[in-house]
Amino acid sequence: MDPSLTEEWLRETDEPEIRAVSASKSDDGDWQVGIWAQEFFRDGPLGVELRQRVASALRAVAGVTSAEEQDNETWYVTGTPSGEALTRAAASVVDDMADRLRDSEEPP
């Protein structure tokens, strides 16, 4: 684990390009949540839906004060949520969309 991180959660699956997510808490108390599928689904309809749903799911986690997209695959989350709750919230979105993402004509 990176020494600047105080906590790290990783949801590993047999389909990382679709279902893998992570949550890492920095020593300042803020979180970065990684959504692997966002690397592959960017501007198309599924990418837009994925981002909207992830934003809603992360903001609904108890203790979250803000959740903003930091870069293409990473969300910056502030507040006092648990890493487990953030990981579960993100995983619920990608799990719900997995069949559509897998069957999409967009990459991966």
pLDDT tens across 34-62, in order? 999 999 898 889 999 999 999 999 999 99
**pLDDT (0 to 100) of residue 47:** 93
pTM of the predicted protein model = 0.91
Domain that holds residue 93: 5-101
According to DSSP, the β-strands at 64-69 and 31-35 are: unpaired
Query: Would you say residue 59 lies in a domain?
Result: yes
Domain containing 9 — which CATH number? 3.30.1360
**pLDDT (0 to 100) of residue 19:** 95
List the structure tokens of 17: 């390009």
Q: Give just the sign of the alpha carbon dihedral 85, 54, 60, 76.
A: positive
pLDDT of residue 107 exceeding 80 = no
What is the tally of structural domains in the chain? 1
Q: Using one digit for the tens of pLDDT, what is the confidence trace for 55-91?
A: 999 999 999 999 999 998 999 999 999 999 999 999 9
Which residues are within 8 A (CB) of 75 and not within 5 positions of it... i.e. 6 or more apart?
32, 33, 34, 35, 54, 55, 58, 67, 68, 69
Summary mean pLDDT of the chain: 92
Query: Would you say residue 67 lies in a domain?
Result: yes
Query: Would you say residue 9 lies in a domain?
Result: yes
> Could you give the CA distance from residue 85 to residue 83 in angstroms, rounded to a whole number?
5
**pLDDT (0 to 100) of residue 99:** 95
Query: Would you say residue 106 lies in a domain?
Result: no
Q: How far apart are the first and last CA of the chain?
A: 28
> Could you give the CA distance from residue 31 to residue 43 in angstroms, rounded to a whole number?
24
Query: Would you say residue 12 lies in a domain?
Result: yes
**pLDDT (0 to 100) of residue 98:** 95
pLDDT of residue 108 exceeding 60 = no
Q: Hey, which bits of 1-108 come out as E strands?
A: 5-11, 21-26, 31-35, 64-69, 74-79
Q: Using one digit for the tens of pLDDT, what is the confidence trace for 14-29?
A: 999 999 999 999 999 9
Give residue 1's pLDDT band: very low, low, confident or very high (50, 70, 90).
low
